[in-house]
Amino acid sequence: MELSRRIFLRTAAPASLLFRLAGPKPALKAAAPNDQIGMGFIGVGIRGSYLLEGFRKTPGVRALIAADCYDGHLAWAREATGGAIETTRDYFEILKRPDIDAVVIATPDHWHARMILDALAAGKHVYVEKPMTYSIEEGKQVVEAVRKSGKTLMVGSQGKTSTLTAKARELVKSGILGDLNQCRLATNRNSPEGAWVYPVPDDASPQTIDWNRWLGPAPKIPFDARRVFRWRCWWEYSGGVATDLWVHSFTTFHEVMDVKGPRSAVAQGGIFRFPDGRTCPDLLTGIYEYPNFILEITANLGSSRSSGGFVIAGSQASLSLGARAVEVSFEPPPGPVAWYGLNGWTQAAREKYLASLGFEGGKRPPRQEAKPPEVHKVERGLEHHELFVKCLREGSPSPENAEEGHFAAGAAHLGNMAFRQRRRLEWNLASNKVS
């Protein structure tokens, strides 16, 4: 199949043309256990290398080819596979191969939507790292493209398929928390590595990095190796803490709460800990309005202290979702108004009131104690990438589909937009309009 390198989102060819060029292909049918799924990997840096290793260890997968703009990453891929994988700088070399059933995209965010559309146009299934998109507008385009293609797309945000997430969702739906009101999510860390100040290889140069190809749809600027390895720090390639950290929280949160996305957002933040030339904030706090509750979400790269990693508060109990368990902490029973509210009452008035509640002799009722917390632990399930392979083999729905990826990324984008525009923004989920 001959694919034009001009097939890009937001440039000459509209999405509908992509499918006229390539034509949709049927989804992978349920395969016999010895059938192999051919995979290509676009981006094999920090995250992409992890995914390549993970998929290689998954039974029934053949890692055939990897693409990256940095020669050092390609050298690693050959080294890690004992030379068994082909390498290229041009990801279209992956898309044109008939033995590739699915592609894994782990590039800077500004490339995600373009590569997704190109892969779908080439008849490939797609596993794409979070965030699915670089903007809210791209989200609807990707959702529609996936629908038309008949292919499977899965977003790589592991909390969505965690067995702990499933347990938290079950508990929320049971009503054990009472009337929900406030939710708090936080991702805080305090180290240069946690703030994406990754080392730049000594050999990073215009000779070892295809700079123009790496930039792609981003503004053209002189070569800067820092941006290749620390791209999450700049708006041109990323949404910073919102699309790198918040998006994980939103993905899990939407699953637990059984909601699509927020109605509105305000956000504040800035660069406080790492004034190293980055443009994305290293501290960002957002307040989001959902139909029946308010969400406060924070990411702080300057302190590892947390005021609530994942807490859902209700009138009867609060739920905390941790790395190894889900804990439900109960509220004390409310009891009668018989303490502070009676200060300043005469003895006679107090005794009469307490007697009306069934407490004789002016004795106030004992304070109610909360019952002990419940700690729920669950068995681990399949790894996120293993579920992708499973759904391809079985023809089952994607465990984290394009619409879910759109609403999680969109919530993060909305917070960034509110922060950068310094105003409250509303998001119409049906029309995808922000105002």
Same domain, 147 and 49: yes
Same domain, 98 and 189: no
Beta strands across the sheet bearing 283-290: 374-376, 326-330, 317-321, 310-314, 180-188, 293-300, 283-290, 264-270, 425-428, 433-434
372-386 burial: b if 16+ Cβ within 10 Å, else e: eeeeeebeeeeebbb
Same domain, 110 and 196: no
Same domain, 185 and 137: no
pLDDT tens per residue across all 435 residues of the chain:
333 333 333 333 333 333 333 333 444 544 434 589 999 999 999 999 999 999 999 999 999 999 999 999 999 999 999 999 999 999 999 999 999 999 999 999 999 999 999 999 999 999 999 999 999 999 999 999 999 999 999 999 999 999 999 999 999 999 999 999 999 999 999 999 999 999 999 999 999 999 999 999 999 999 999 999 999 999 999 999 999 999 999 999 999 999 999 999 999 999 999 999 999 999 999 999 999 999 999 999 999 887 668 999 999 999 999 999 999 999 998 877 777 888 888 989 988 888 888 887 777 777 788 999 999 999 998 899 999 999 999 999 999 999 999 999 999 999 999 999 999 999 999 999 999
CB-side exposure of 243: number of CA atoms within 13 Å?
Answer: 31
pTM of the full structure: 0.90
Length of the chain: 435
Domain membership of residue 299 (yes or no) is yes
Residue 307, pLDDT score: 62
Same domain, 152 and 169: no
Residue 2, pLDDT score: 35
> The domain spanning residue 146 has which CATH number?
3.40.50.720
Same domain, 272 and 315: yes
Residue 340, pLDDT score: 80
Residue with tokens 């949709």: 24
**Is the separation of the CB atoms in 112 and 134 below 8 Å?**
yes
Same domain, 100 and 132: yes
Same domain, 193 and 226: yes
Amino acid identity, residue 51?
L
Domain count, the chain: 2
Same domain, 195 and 310: yes
CA 424 to centroid of chain Cα atoms:
22
Same domain, 191 and 214: yes
Task: Provide the token pair at 100.
Answer: 């590739």
Residue 335 CA to residue 321 CA, distance in Å, equals 29
Task: Provide the token pair at 124.
Answer: 């490939």
Residue 10 CA to residue 163 CA, distance in Å, equals 38
Strands 293-300 and 310-314: unpaired
Question: Is 356 exposed, middle or buried, given 0-12, 13-18 or 19+ CB atoms closer than 10 A?
Answer: exposed
Three-state secondary-structure class, residue 38: strand
Domain extent, residue 34, equals: 15-160+384-400
Residue 125 CA to residue 395 CA, distance in Å, equals 12
Closest C-alpha among 144, 99, 140, 139 to residue 120:
144
